[in-house]
A and B are shown apart, each in its own frame.
Chain A
């Protein structure tokens, strides 16, 4: 149960007296009027709240100032989204597709859930891009970019047909998505099994309908071999290099995203290894414009020390020979 404001006030009196007594001896700061029972922490100011309060609701509450159109959004999309989601929103290498799927939600086939076929509110598109996209650089977009990307995705999904329609604080919530009426509350429990103990079914009618691939023995053998190899701890440098690689480099160098040479691809690395470690370190630390793609300085992870970047380069070279 909540205490009413009056109750809180009465509780504060003895606490306040106690605090006042402590102030003399130990220098505690007395809880200010208007704090809670414990008075811990600091009051959140409107400016502080505004910095983190990024959420947007279906009715548009929380949308920032700004605006954008599908026309503007196409350029932002090509630059910042298409490498994973595809130029036509089709999705690349397992990353989500953003368009299509109409009519696939019911029936026997595989449902294809996209903004156009499945999502229920336009606000969710804005909120999600603004909170978590682009995948490798969340919270990096300006409000106008988020509005224009949202407009472009609505346009790609045939939700709006005017490339110059301006999405903003007032118009965004007026654009409704087709699947909105098809969400229903939780209906569980929706099964009613009973606790039968004997003669619960006809043994003759039991039939195996499906079975997992029984390749377990091979997998366990491979893992046992791998575990045996890793009993000796690898050198410290390799540990650092692998850890930096896993956290900061793997996304592009593991998959070959954005033209990055793929770790383990000997052919791709041969020429690079030949130019020598010093050059590789320099390119990795300072950034480099190559023929196939761009290596941002430290991969964009400026919090990494030069030594950590070098260790990651060594690790990638070692894994690619």
Chain B
């Protein structure tokens, strides 16, 4: 019996048993029964709603027979309490403590291409600082004609733009280089989020201070305890780098760099410095810790690539996935996310047989450059085991590589920039497992 049928049957039993009781006893029984079933459902498949018979027509649900809460019950609203399983989560063994650590976006439960700000992955190098906007300043100096210090009010007077882009940690999927390891989508691909970012083009600010002709690189530095710093080529800074103060229509969340951060579209997330306090123009890169000791890619011959900025074309199926197993045989809407740091996604193909045959998926969202793009296609599942893969192609013609191709080029020790075609194995019982195949 598949899981949905099992649940339906349990619910039926509860409903039937409940009929024999009356008044308080019956209500109590139903309440307890449903609580139990709620837990059972979450166990079987987090996020899938059970079909509660009592709420089906001709019955009237309780919330239709009473008044609800008044306006301003929650002056700043939160998600429904029934969605409390949609949370950022961390993998404890990755870091020695939670202060300098990372949490993951719950991709399996998200819709569309915009990541809700409250569940976008976190990455701190010295914890989450409490930055007061009135105290915060951004200094721009170095090889410029007019070094300036901007308050947040000053910064927000400049002409603003809003752009939809993903931000992805280059270590996303890094635990999979040596073999399939993470048993859920949240951990295999969740170091990514996509948002509408509002702020000032860095080129506007650089024009304001007047970069001297010898200026070739920018150092961006955070105000937190790590004073996280990265060198960014002037070419990128003048192209599309944003100095961002708002995300998804509201001021940045503290976790995302409140009150101001950089966003380098399509590049390693760590270059998008949070709690940004300083931009310095220089004539060569600084080779700081987070661009030498970390965030460099070790090759099998012992050499390491430096300044590997671009997040290459990647994709993953989000339904089904380990957190969203197959519920019952029949037509299934298979969907997923694709993205490329080099521009727009052009095609996404999906295979159900481990890469023997492929079908092109449809785009079910808008397609923006350097943004998450959602794809989907219909699949008829009759309980047969399958190996689902997705393969994205970006507008440069680059085709997402296989694990074999990636390892042939880079070995298994480079930690960062793993963008191989991912495989979900669907078992006959509907469960889904992360596997790597030959």
Q: Which residues from chain A sit less than 8 Å from chain B, CB to CB?
A: 2-3, 5, 8, 34-38, 40-44, 48-49, 52-59, 93-95, 105-106, 110-111, 113, 118-121, 123-124, 127-128, 131-132, 135, 138-139, 182-203, 205-217, 219-221, 223-225, 227-228, 230-231, 246-247, 250-251, 254-255
- Inter-chain contact B157/A212, CB cutoff 8 Å: no
Complex interface: chain A residues within 8 A of B287 (CB): 57-58, 120-121, 123-124
The stretch that binds A, out of B6-14, B16-24, B208-216, is: B208-216
- Inter-chain contact B139/A106, CB cutoff 8 Å: no
Interface string of B280-318 (1 = CB under 8 A from A): 101010111100110010111111111111101000000
Complex Cα distance, B356 from A200, in Å, reads: 5
Complex Cα distance, B138 from A42, in Å, reads: 11
Complex Cα distance, B147 from A35, in Å, reads: 9
Complex interface: chain A residues within 8 A of B42 (CB): 220-221, 223-224, 227
- Inter-chain contact A44/B39, CB cutoff 8 Å: no
On whether A43 and B146 interact (CB within 8 A), knowing A55-B286, A224-B46, the answer reads yes
The stretch that binds A, out of B61-69, B373-381, B406-414, is: B406-414
Complex interface: chain A residues within 8 A of B227 (CB): 54, 131-132, 138-139
Q: How many Å from the CB of B112 to the closest CB on chain A?
A: 24
- Inter-chain contact A55/B437, CB cutoff 8 Å: no
- Inter-chain contact B148/A43, CB cutoff 8 Å: yes
Complex interface: chain B residues within 8 A of A111 (CB): 298, 413
Q: How many Å from the CB of A283 to the closest CB on chain B?
A: 23
- Inter-chain contact B289/A195, CB cutoff 8 Å: no
Q: How many Å from the CB of B200 to the closest CB on chain A?
A: 10
Residue of B nearest to A123 (CB): B287
Interface size of B by Cβ–Cβ distance < 8 Å?
113
Complex Cα distance, B202 from A2, in Å, reads: 12
- Inter-chain contact B292/A194, CB cutoff 8 Å: no
Please report the number of residue pairs spanning A and B whose Cβ atoms sit closer than 8 angstroms: 291
Q: Which residues from chain B sit less than 8 Å from chain A, CB to CB?
A: 35, 38-39, 42-44, 46, 81, 84-85, 95-100, 125-128, 139-141, 145-151, 154-155, 157-158, 179-184, 188, 206-211, 219, 221, 225-227, 229, 277-278, 280, 282, 284, 286-289, 292-293, 296, 298-310, 312, 322-323, 347, 349, 353-360, 387, 391, 393, 398-402, 405-406, 409-410, 413, 417, 425, 431, 433-438
The 3 nearest A-B residue pairs measured at CB: A94-B96, A210-B179, A106-B302
- Inter-chain contact B292/A121, CB cutoff 8 Å: yes
12 residue pairs from A and B, CB less than 8 Å apart: A36-B207, A41-B148, A44-B149, A52-B221, A53-B141, A195-B393, A199-B356, A208-B437, A210-B180, A212-B180, A214-B322, A246-B98
